[in-house]
Amino acid sequence: NAGVMQNPRHLVRRRGQEARLRCSPMKGHSHVYWYRQLPEEGLKFMVYLQKENIIDESGMPKERFSAEFPKEGPSILRIQQVVRGDSAAYFCASSPLPAASSYNSPLHFGNGTRLTVT
């Protein structure tokens, strides 16, 4: 059973370009979470999505960042007009059930996409 798959593993963008990060959850998981880890810092929650719905985006920057999880295909985290401060590791996690409802449903994380903005 494949784990959470993220691609690309490494992404380099120039300032002002767009970055698109993809996340395929574990099979059978319909809940996806995105976290960001700045260099030498802990992970920070960004957004929680179910299929076709954004449930909680309280950690998303107000501008330039968006996320989707369509009915078919992976979840996408999109960063428009990237700046150097966006350089970070972006991790996706998935769970099979609504996170708040299941005691035995810890988050399963992918290995992240490392974004470097030059």
Would you tell me which residues interact with another protein (CB under 8 A)?
4, 31, 33, 35, 41-45, 48, 56, 58-59, 91, 93, 95, 97-103, 105-112
User: Least separation, in Å, of the C-beta of 99 and another protein?
Assistant: 4
User: Least separation, in Å, of the C-beta of 35 and another protein?
Assistant: 8
- Per 3-state DSSP, what percentage of the chain is helix, strand, and coil (rounded to 5)? 5, 45, 45
The β-bridge relationship of strands 75-79 and 19-24 is antiparallel
**H and E: helices and strands count for the chain:** 0, 11
User: Least separation, in Å, of the C-beta of 20 and another protein?
Assistant: 19
